[in-house]
Amino acid sequence: MNSFMDDFPQDSRTDTEAPAPGPLSGITVVDLSRVLAGPYATMVLADLGARVIKVERPGEGDDSRGIGPFKDGKSAYFTSINRGKQSIALDLKDAGDRQVFEALLQRADVLVENYRPGTIDKLGYGWPALHERYPQLIYAAASGFGHSGPDSRKAAYDMVVQAMGGIMSVTGHPGGPPTRVGTSIGDITAGLFTVIGILSALHDRRDSGSGRFVDVAMLDGQIAILENAIARYAVTGEAPGPLGARHPSITPFAAFRCRDAHIVIAAGNDSLFRALCDVLGLPDLPGNPRFASNNARSENAEALHTVMEAQLETGDAATWLARLDEAGVPAGPLQDVGEALAHPQVRARNMAIRTAFEDGTPLTAAGNPVKISGFDDPATRPKAPALDEHRAAILAELGLASGTEQA
């Protein structure tokens, strides 16, 4: 283990299974989803207090149990996303297991799945069939392309939707090779929109009494986060390209080289720009018509960058950051993942939490960024489940004997 883990606050909660109380306490989620988009959504729900029962296929379980990085043969990837969930292995083609699954649905508020559209219908568990049998059940499907449209039944992974959705076309350096966003933003965005759909449907259900079908496509999510790249295309008719490390229409808003390292500076308005120029010892710059307004600065971004960097390269990053901080100019260091997790603000906000592998071995993971008054925001989260770990407890709760019942 690294030294960061060693000074982590201790808490005994990693070896309990009860979720911390949250605004979603009392909500039960049956989770058929695998790998990332669906499991990320149910992680967010679990962090907010929902009970998540992960239904895995017997034998191997969630594919991500087999995806690295590993520690002692267990996936840290799986563990970080599935902390605090329960697991039962069910073969949805087996009559006894189908009875268990249906008993779970009978008591559930939400079903989450991220199969390719059409797949689950073959098992008799598509939305139309389930809505008829469980009219209050909210059915959330996260898929690559969604449950409608000509490409609906195609499979997609994060890489495919990052490429097709346009975000790669605006990420990277002009003339440089294709650049993927370094995390699976295709899955994660879809996961967040799935949570928003589920919570909206829960809100609606209080009045309508009816469950809803929530249909979120990873590709749709990529379009939804294109932000002003769409506005630029719509206004000019020209597709924007990558801009390296600067913002397209706010300037200066970029990474700059100091003597020893890069820093970022975001002087988003005229008064911040004046404060910045004072720090840099360039007090005449704001009076120059080429740099007098944000729009002028954006048109002359490269010239401004050159002038600023010539000054910044005369000093060290830490010195400049201290001066910028004192002047109230938003700026910061380029931190790697270890530096980010060790940052005092990140620690103070419980954004680096401790969870555990299925055997109790501790693991650092991201915390819950949704802080809500009146609810716990623990620095630890319950461990991830072993495959089928909760079978006996769940069967007992459902009043079913283990493996002997038939539908």
Q: By C-beta, is 199 or 279 nearer to its own copies?
A: 199
**Is 276 an interacting residue with respect to its own copies (CB under 8 A)?**
no
Q: Which of 16, 136, 249, 402 binds its own copies (CB under 8 A)?
A: 249
Tell me the per-residue interface mask from 297 to 316 with its own copies, x by CB under 8 A, - otherwise.
Answer: -x------------------
Q: Which range, of 94-102, 279-287, 309-317, 362-370, touches its own copies by CB under 8 A?
A: 362-370
CB of residue 13 vs its own copies: minimum separation in angstroms?
18
- Least spacing, CB of residue 398 vs its own copies, in Å: 25
189 close to 224: Cβ distance less than 8 angstroms: yes
Contact 176, 169 (CB under 8 A): no
Can residue 172 be called a binding residue for its own copies (CB under 8 A)?
yes
The answer to whether 320 contacts its own copies (rule: CB under 8 A) is no
Of the two residues 207 and 284, which places its CB atom closer to its own copies in the complex?
Answer: 207
The distance of closest approach from Cβ of residue 65 to its own copies in the complex, given in angstroms and rounded to an integer, is: 12
Q: Which of the ranges 90-98, 212-220, 305-313, 388-396 carries the binding residues for its own copies, by CB under 8 A?
A: 212-220
Residue 404 burial (10 A CB sphere; 0-12, 13-18, 19+): exposed
Which positions from 19 to 38 touch its own copies by CB under 8 A, shown as an x/- string?
Answer: ---xxx--x-------xx--
Q: Please state the closest distance from residue 407 (CB atom) to its own copies, in A.
A: 28
Q: Which residues, 6 or more positions from 285, have their beta carbon under 8 angstroms from its beta carbon?
A: 273, 277, 291, 304, 307
Answer yes or no whether residue 322 interacts with its own copies by CB under 8 A.
Answer: no
> Nearer Cβ to its own copies, position 99 or 119?
119
Q: Please tell me whether residue 79 binds its own copies under the rule CB under 8 A.
A: yes
Backbone phi, then psi, for 246, in 5-degree steps? Answer: -125, 160
Say which DSSP state 169 is in.
G
> What does the DSSP assignment read for 265-292?
EE--SHHHHHHHHHHHT-TTGGGSGGGS
Q: How far is the CB of 284 from its own copies (least distance, A)?
A: 24
User: What letter would DSSP give residue 351?
Assistant: -
- Indicate which single residue of 55, 112, 120, 156 sits in contact with its own copies (rule: CB under 8 A): 156
Which residue in 213, 327, 376, 379 binds its own copies (CB under 8 A)?
Answer: 213
Stretch that binds its own copies, among 99-107, 118-126, 204-212, 301-309 (CB under 8 A): 204-212
What distance in Å separates the CA atoms of residue 284 and residue 131, rounded to the nearest whole number?
Answer: 68
CA distances from residue 288 to 67, 284, 304 in whole angstroms, order as listed: 55, 7, 11
Residues 368-407 that bind its own copies (CB under 8 A): 368-375
- To its own copies, the closest distance from the beta carbon of 329 in angstroms equals 8
Q: Does 327 bind its own copies (CB under 8 A)?
A: no
Using the rule CB under 8 A, give the single segment among 85-93, 235-243, 311-319, 388-396 that binds its own copies. Answer: 235-243
User: Is the sign of the CA dihedral 15, 16, 22, 25 positive or negative?
Assistant: positive
* Residues whose CB falls within 8 Å of the CB of residue 80, separated by 6 or more in sequence, listed in order: 355, 363, 365, 366, 384
Binding residue (CB under 8 A) for its own copies from 28, 171, 288, 311: 171
Which amino acids are annotated catalytic? 247
Q: Are 34 and 63 in contact (CB under 8 A)?
A: yes
- Region of 49 (left: φ > 0; alpha: ψ -120 to 50; beta: rest) is left
Judged by CB under 8 A, the chain residues 96 through 125 that form the site for its own copies are none
CB-based contact 335:343 (threshold 8 Å):
yes
Shortest distance, CB of residue 406 to its own copies, whole angstroms?
Answer: 32
Question: What is the spatial distance between Cα 306 and Cα 252, in angstroms, rounded to a whole number?
Answer: 11
